[in-house]
Amino acid sequence: MIEIGSRARTLPAPPHIVWDSLVEPHRPETHPWLSLLADEVEPRVLTAQKPSHATWSSLWPSRPHDQIHFTLTASPDGGTLLRFTLLTPDEAPDQSKTGHLRKRLNQLLFADLRYSYGH
């Protein structure tokens, strides 16, 4: 697998809450956060080990074999250090596409998901 990108940031919710958000992004009792673009599809959860790991299928039909791996660890402030790693068994995309994929994951996780917790 080739790493396309990886980033870690803290979120205000504890790991078990963030894990629930990743594994069930449309739970009725949560604020909606997974808003997909026209060129994206709903990810499938490929693996899940509560509360520390989860893996999604690709969001992009043009890159069906990509996977998004999540690692969650408790942060000292009671929140979660969430790391995503975007991997592919295929050829890495060009620089423009790589930038788009990373930007979308940053937006979804470190803006939209963060704001769903009220911060």
For residue 28, what is the domain's CATH number? Answer: 3.30.530.20
Residue 119's pLDDT band (cuts 50, 70, 90): low
What average pLDDT does the segment 48-71 reach?
97
Mean pLDDT of the region 29-54: 95
User: Could you give the number of structural domains in the chain?
Assistant: 1
Q: Domain residues for 58?
A: 2-116
**Cα dihedral sign, 24-28-30-35:** positive
Per-residue DSSP letter, 13: S
List of long-range contacts for 97-104, beta carbons under 8 Å, 24+ apart: 98/4, 98/5, 101/4, 101/5, 101/60, 101/63, 101/66, 102/4, 102/5, 102/7, 104/37, 104/40, 104/59
